[in-house]
């Protein structure tokens, strides 16, 4: 049984995703949600407060709660599923798998995965699309000891990130960001016509002390920015 506040959150998120509620629109007030869902105001308050903390809504005391501008940003801190992000913007997600097989680790990959000797690895190359437009090229290697059934998954249904996160909780992350000029191969995959700089995000993910996966994600700069925000826990004033 999902909690009431979560049901209200889903309901509002669905409306944002479906386009019923667009950026700037006013969402129902707490009291309106009370009568609409037959819940208490504190429950409605929790739903709206959490959606605000998640960055979907903005609240103005004395005025109302509004849908925030959808910023095509991806979080550096959290691991987010790109399919969900695109859906949250009310857009259509699709993907094109360009490679999916077992390979032998190169010396660099052995180092990446902290292996002591040569080992097989799973590899996937996949292009993520938003409304048919490529927005991310994912080049990922996976530890076969951590996810032995990786190759058998249907990645048209579920992204590699979603599958791996459901299988193994990520307890440590490493990110490395660079600005690059895409090579001919990457340009073709991302359907870049005029040459533009891209963000290259290299991410390693640990679970239980082992490197589970190592991925290079390439974003065309004009279509994506990486975003992170957090509380440092420093003394408030």
Partner DNA sequence: TGTATAAGGTTGTATATACAGTATAGTGCG
Partner DNA sequence: CGCACTATACTGTATATACAACCTTATACA
* CA 83 vs CA 89, 128, 216, 236: distances in Å: 10, 8, 17, 36
Q: What are phi and psi of 106, to 5 degrees?
A: -80, 165
C-beta neighbour count of 17 within 10 angstroms = 17
Out of 11, 49, 80, 202, the only residue in the binding site for DNA (CB under 7 A) is: 49
How near is the Cβ of 59 to a copy of itself at its closest, in Å? 14
Give the residue with the Cβ less far from DNA, 108 or 117.
117
DSSP structure string for 148-190: TTGGGS-TTTS-HHHHHHHHS---EEEEEEEEE---HHHHHHT
Which listed option, DNA, a copy of itself, none, makes contact with residue 3 (CB within 5 to 8 Å by class)?
Answer: DNA
163-222 residues near a copy of itself, rule: CB under 8 A? 169-181, 196-199, 207-209, 219, 221
**The dihedral of CA 100, 103, 107, 110: what is its sign?**
positive
For residue 137, state whether it binds a copy of itself (rule: CB under 8 A).
no
How near is the Cβ of 100 to a copy of itself at its closest, in Å? 27
How near is the Cβ of 117 to DNA at its closest, in Å? 12
Structure tokens at 40: 């208490």
For residue 22, state whether it binds DNA (rule: CB under 7 A).
no
For residue 8, state whether it binds a copy of itself (rule: CB under 8 A).
no
For residue 114, state whether it binds a copy of itself (rule: CB under 8 A).
no
């Amino acid at each position: 049984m999902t909690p009431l506040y979560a049901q209200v959150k889903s309901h509002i998120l669905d409306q944002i995703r479906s386009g019923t509620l667009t950026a700037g629109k006013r969402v129902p007030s707490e009291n309106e949600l009370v009568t609409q869902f037959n819940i208490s105001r504190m429950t409605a308050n929790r739903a709206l407060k959490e959606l605000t903390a998640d960055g979907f809504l903005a609240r103005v005391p004395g005025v109302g709660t509004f849908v925030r501008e959808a910023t095509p940003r991806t979080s550096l801190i959290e691991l987010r599923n790109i399919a969900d992000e695109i859906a949250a913007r009310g857009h259509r997600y699709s993907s094109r798998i360009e490679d999916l097989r077992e390979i032998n680790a190169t010396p660099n990959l052995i180092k990446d995965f902290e292996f002591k000797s040569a080992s097989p690895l799973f590899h996937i190359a996949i292009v993520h699309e938003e409304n048919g437009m490529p927005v991310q090229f994912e080049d990922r290697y996976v530890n076969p000891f951590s996810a032995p059934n990786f190759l058998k998954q249907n990645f048209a249904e579920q992204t590699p990130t979603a599958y791996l996160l459901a299988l193994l909780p990520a307890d440590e992350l490493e990110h490395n960001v660079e600005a690059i000029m895409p090579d001919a191969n990457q340009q073709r995959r991302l359907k870049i016509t005029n040459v533009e700089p891209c963000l290259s995000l290299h991410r390693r993910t640990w679970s239980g002390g082992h490197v589970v996966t190592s991925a290079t994600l390439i974003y065309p700069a004009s279509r994506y920015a990486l975003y992170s925000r957090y509380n440092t826990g420093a003394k408030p004033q």
